[in-house]
Structure 1
Amino acid sequence: MTTATVDWCETNYAHSHYICELFNSVSSLAMVLAGVLGIALHHRVLERRLLLAFALVSVVGLGSIAFHATLLFQHQMLDELPMLYLALLMVYILMENRPERRFGLWFPLVLFGYAVLSTWLTAFFRGRLQFFLFQTSFASLEFFALARVYLIHRRNQEVKARRVFQVGMGAYALAIVLWMSDTRFCATLNETLPAHGLPNPQFHAWWHVLVSCGFYALLMVIAHDRLRTLGQAPRLHFAAGVLPFVRSTEHP
């Protein structure tokens, strides 16, 4: 029996008696991998705040697996609440972007208060209101953070960093389009297409993959800018020609 406040556009238990949404569950591994790779490639390079962001990406992925595998409300919280905390951490990282602390203690306290309020709104409401409150809280933080990354992109003249931003923002934008299409056109995707012999394209699963790639790339842009702010002459490299990572003069 499912207790979550939202049921995504993938037929429940269609492929396994043990996993409610197989494609959405498996695709969530992309978030776990993005976080693990970020930590593995940068644990001696980046500050703890950025490593914590990568760790939270993996936590979101694990929560997403639990959520989609069961569609239980308590597992939904394991997905949604870490997303909120990650978004708040990104706001802190993007605002406190100078060598010395830009704001006083009041700023993290305000973010903590927002986290408490958002946790209460997300965890103690049910039905469509719960989903709306979560999406409103998360989306406002998400788009603020994306706007700040865009400002970083505009002042960065390094060609590699600009290309990574373009790829990351493109993947993120496409992920949002697929997420919205999956929620708005579920009847077409899950009923009309199969009736004509075409499978459900599983847009929500692709959202997981694309948002993982996009977020990782945008974190590289943020990390590159942060190292430059700290005077460490960052350089962008690409593992296997496709996976970006940063190095500085202090960490060759």
Structure 2
Amino acid sequence: MSSSTVGFWGPSTSTVDWCETNYQHLFHVSELFNTASSLVLVVVGLIGFVLHRHVLERRFLLAFALLSVVGVGSTAFHATLQREHQMLDELPMLYLAIVIVYILLEDRPQRRFGNWLPVLLFGHAVLVTYLTAFTRGNAQFFLFQVSFASLEFYALGRTYFLQRRSPDARVKRLFRLGIAAYALAIVLWLSDIQFCPTLNETLPAHGLPNPQLHAWWHVLVSCGFYALLLVIAHHRLETLGRKPRLTSTAGGLPRVEAAPPVKETHTASLY
């Protein structure tokens, strides 16, 4: 954990304090690098929404929008290390994971599970919201991580099988890039927790700075999520018969394009 230096926002009230030294650079920002890197989540979500607002269903646009909401909450959390702002970071992460699970389960042109699936997922969202918001200390951190990780790893595994069935080499390449970024992000996240004394004490003692691994987690997980969501979207558009193709913007950013929705499936696939 980082130092207990107190700045503008007072003592930390969050259940976790990351390895970046608090208030080392600015009196008004507790963790400068973690705060600044959180804005990447906001930007990537907005880019995904804008590029695909006329191509993808609302479920995908909701996922991109929630990614930006996560970024806003993460920015507030790392800037203040206050518990209420921690909830603005963690709860949208859970909701985003639930939306992705819905997308992956409800993957046919017509709805497979009726109303009970969204009701079940909504109930799960209420439960994890309660557990995350009304537990304290290590128990809160553990419950959040278990709740989020279980949804996350199901989604990653399901996406792996989707890309295996795709004959498009570009989809497979995008998946490899996305999963590599995501896996490296997880390694850095764990390393930031496990090796904090080394990062904050041993390295500076030898003239080396803390590499701010949690900040790199924000950047890499943003890129990985964007790539993997496009893999899922490509499969969804194929299922709807819309002949998707992976292209790129002038800046090289990948995007999915597709033919307009056919009339008979348009209503069924709005969400």
TM-score (norm 2): 0.91
Alignment correspondent of 1:177: 187
Instruction: Report the Cα distance in structure 2 between the residues aligned to 1:241 and 1:65, rounded to whole angstroms.
Output: 26
- Tell me, what secondary structure is at the counterpart of 1:10? coil
Alignment correspondent of 1:165: 175
Instruction: Report the Cα distance in structure 2 between the residues aligned to 1:54 and 1:237, rounded to whole angstroms.
Output: 18
Alignment correspondent of 1:38: 48
Give yes or no for the alignment of 1:124 onto 2:154.
no
Alignment correspondent of 1:22: 32
- Tell me, what secondary structure is at the counterpart of 2:161? helix
Q: 1:196 aligns with which of 202, 206, 229?
A: 206
Instruction: Report the Cα distance in structure 2 between the residues aligned to 1:160 and 1:239, rounded to whole angstroms.
Output: 15
- Tell me, what secondary structure is at the counterpart of 1:18? coil
Shift of 1:249: 2.0
* 1:203-248 Cα distance to aligned partner (Å, 9 max, x none): 0000000000000000110111111110000011012363110111
Alignment correspondent of 1:70: 80
Alignment correspondent of 1:206: 216
1:197 alignment partner AA: G
Alignment correspondent of 2:160: 150
Alignment RMSD: 0.9
Instruction: Report the Cα distance in structure 2 between the residues aligned to 1:199 and 1:18, rounded to whole angstroms.
Output: 22
The residue correspondences of 1:85-124 to structure 2 (distance < 5 A) are: 85-124=95-134
Instruction: Report the Cα distance in structure 2 between the residues aligned to 1:46 and 1:83, rounded to whole angstroms.
Output: 21
- Tell me, what secondary structure is at the counterpart of 1:104? coil
Which is worse superposed, 80-89 or 231-240? 231-240
The percent of aligned pairs where both chains have the same amino acid is 67
Q: 1:216 aligns with which of 215, 218, 226?
A: 226
Q: Gapped runs of 5+ residues in structure 1?
A: none
* 1:182-213 Cα distance to aligned partner (Å, 9 max, x none): 00000001111011100000000000000000
2:196 alignment partner AA: C
How many residue pairs match? The answer is 251
- Tell me, what secondary structure is at the counterpart of 1:237? strand
Instruction: Report the Cα distance in structure 1 between the residues aligned to 2:231 and 2:152, rounded to whole angstroms.
Output: 16
- Tell me, what secondary structure is at the counterpart of 2:23? coil
2:48 alignment partner AA: G
Give yes or no for the alignment of 1:228 onto 2:238.
yes
Runs ≥4 residues deviating over 6 A: none
1:12 alignment partner AA: N
* 1:85-133 Cα distance to aligned partner (Å, 9 max, x none): 0000000000000000011211111111111110010000110110000
Give yes or no for the alignment of 1:11 onto 2:1.
no
Alignment correspondent of 1:242: 252
- Tell me, what secondary structure is at the counterpart of 1:6? coil
1:238 alignment partner AA: S
Instruction: Report the Cα distance in structure 2 between the residues aligned to 1:10 and 1:36, rounded to whole angstroms.
Output: 27
